[in-house]
């Protein structure tokens, strides 16, 4: 997976899922073409994917980003997770998305994790069945995301008050255990206590027993006899 790109104008991040290479044999030799699969999102509930092909990799990635931005969809979120469990299917791939309590994190593979993170989901459990082809997995995940519905809209369609759902009650219970830091209690940085006693060690080039200090102490002792040998004898 290649590094992410960030569009400052629209606050949209893009991530390259993978690049495929195809070759066709022609009269003059082989002709290569590249296809890039890119996922974009603003981490606020909007995410999309695109697939672009070109004779060069940068051009293929640029095409895929353009297609992905045009095909972005909005998904409902409850805090940092999805409203309910869904299962998306495409071809021989099947992906199940399960909401999780705060602090769980995203338990998923590389492809599914990238999509959920770009959508703004930070707590979710996932499971993939069948084919693990990246393009099929991406389409299966988006098929599941399109099935998400908030509890309020479902209650309006049914003409009933659904109240708190299971995941909403889990989120409320999880908030009780989250630490709350006041404005006065700011986090302090780590203090280095490894090298407090500087200059008290025995070894090292800069310590009391190091080579540098030993050399400087030996120099005056070597220069003293030279000065005595060159001095004139005292007159009697």
The predicted structure's pLDDT at residue 24: 92
Topology given in CATH for the domain delimited by 86-176? Ribosomal Protein S5; domain 2 (3.30.230)
pTM of the model: 0.69
Q: Which residue has the higher pLDDT, 43 or 180?
A: 43
Same fold: 5-22+34-74 with 86-176: no
Domain boundaries, the chain: 5-22+34-74, 86-176
The three-state secondary structure class of 74 is: strand
CA distance 213 to 12: 59
What per-residue confidence (pLDDT) applies to 79?
A: 85
**pLDDT tens digits, 3-13:** 566 565 568 99
Neighbours of 138 (CB within 10 A): 26
How far apart CA 173 and CA 162 sit, in angstroms, is 19
5-22+34-74 under CATH 3.40.50.920, yes or no: no
Reported as a single tens digit per residue, the pLDDT across 155-164 is 777 777 777 7
What is the average per-residue pLDDT within 208-214?
56
Alpha-carbon dihedral 202, 206, 211, 212, rounded to 10 degrees: -140
57 or 197, which is more confident? 57
pLDDT-derived band of residue 182, with 50, 70 and 90 as boundaries?
Answer: low
Sign of CA dihedral 109, 112, 118, 119: negative
Other Cβ atoms closer than 10 A to 147: 14
């Amino acid at each position: 997976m290649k590094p992410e790109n960030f569009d400052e104008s629209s606050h949209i991040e893009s991530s390259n899922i993978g690049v495929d290479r195809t070759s066709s044999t022609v009269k003059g030799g082989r002709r290569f073409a590249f296809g890039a699969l890119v996922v974009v999102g603003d981490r606020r509930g909007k995410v999309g994917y695109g697939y672009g092909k070109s004779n060069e990799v940068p051009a293929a990635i640029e095409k895929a980003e353009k297609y992905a931005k045009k095909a972005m969809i909005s998904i409902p979120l409850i805090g940092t997770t999805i409203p309910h469990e869904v299962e998306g299917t495409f071809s021989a791939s099947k992906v199940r998305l399960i909401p999780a309590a705060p602090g769980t994190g995203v338990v998923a593979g590389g492809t599914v994790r990238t999509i959920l993170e770009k959508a703004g989901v930070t707590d979710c459990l996932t499971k993939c069945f069948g084919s693990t082809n990246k393009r099929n997995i991406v389409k299966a995940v988006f098929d599941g995301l399109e099935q998400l519905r908030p509890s309020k809209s479902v209650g309006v369609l049914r003409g009933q008050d659904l109240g708190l759902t299971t995941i909403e009650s889990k989120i409320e219970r999880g908030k009780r255990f989250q630490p709350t830091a006041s404005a006065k209690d700011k986090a302090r940085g780590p203090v280095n206590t490894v090298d407090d006693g500087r200059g008290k060690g025995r070894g090292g080039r800069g310590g009391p027993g190091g080579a540098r200090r030993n050399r400087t102490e030996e120099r005056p002792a070597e220069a003293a006899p030279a000065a005595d040998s060159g001095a004139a004898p005292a007159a009697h």
